[in-house]
Amino acid sequence: MTSRTLRMMTADDLDAVLVLERTLFGEEAWSRQMLAGELAEQPRSRYYLVADEDGAITGYGGLLVAAAQADVLTLAVAADRWGRGTGSELLEALLAEAARRRCREVFLEVRTDNDRAQRLYRKYGFSEIGVRKGYYQPSGADALVMRRDLGDGRW
């Protein structure tokens, strides 16, 4: 039986995270420098987690917190782990952290052609508020902007 735990992402996780990033996002993958820069802001304004299954990184997620607003910056799960609850667990943890930090709303962008991710976000109360044309580069794919109200900081 596989054991999955969520824990804070560290610089030691970057190699494994970058493999997933490149596999899942191709040319639009974040670079090592970008991810390291994000981790340098943790925990002040960032919150990054990895899903660790018996020593293997099978997913990760990141949150930006600015005053009463949070943004899910990234959420990714290894394709061979899709449908096993990893994405839900990561998203729940990010929402809980946003609530803990007293955020009132959470935003995110998701590719307009990523139905799987959109279903996950809608399941957790996110709704569409707009489209950013050509947001993802270099493909030029559009992003659906979604928002989740946390109200009084509870989700």
Looking at residue 155, what is its pLDDT?
47
138 confidence band (pLDDT: 50, 70, 90): confident
Q: Select from 73, 52, 46 the least CA-distant residue to 61.
A: 73
Mean pLDDT throughout 64-70? Answer: 93
Mean pLDDT (whole number) for 65-87: 92
β-pairing, 105-111 with 141-149?
A: antiparallel
The model carries a pTM of 0.91
Label residue 1 by pLDDT band (50, 70, 90): low
Q: How confident is the model at residue 2 (pLDDT cuts 50, 70, 90)?
A: low
Dihedral sign, Cα of residue 33, residue 26, residue 132, residue 60: negative
State residue 50's pLDDT score.
97
Q: pLDDT tens, 95-122?
A: 999 999 999 999 999 999 999 999 999 9
From residue 18, alpha-carbon distances to 58, 118, 121 in Å are: 12, 23, 23
- In degrees rounded to 5, what are phi and psi of residue 68? -95, 15
User: Which has more confidence, 27 or 94?
Assistant: 94
pLDDT band at 67 (very low <50, low <70, confident <90, very high): confident
100's enclosing H/E stretch is helix 86-100
Q: What pLDDT was estimated at residue 152?
A: 59
Q: What is the percent of the chain with per-residue pLDDT over 90, rounded to a whole number?
A: 74
Question: Residue 153: left (phi > 0), alpha (psi -120 to 50), or beta?
Answer: left
The domain defined by 4-108 carries CATH number 3.40.630.30: yes
List pLDDT tens digits, range 17-37.
Answer: 999 999 999 888 999 999 999
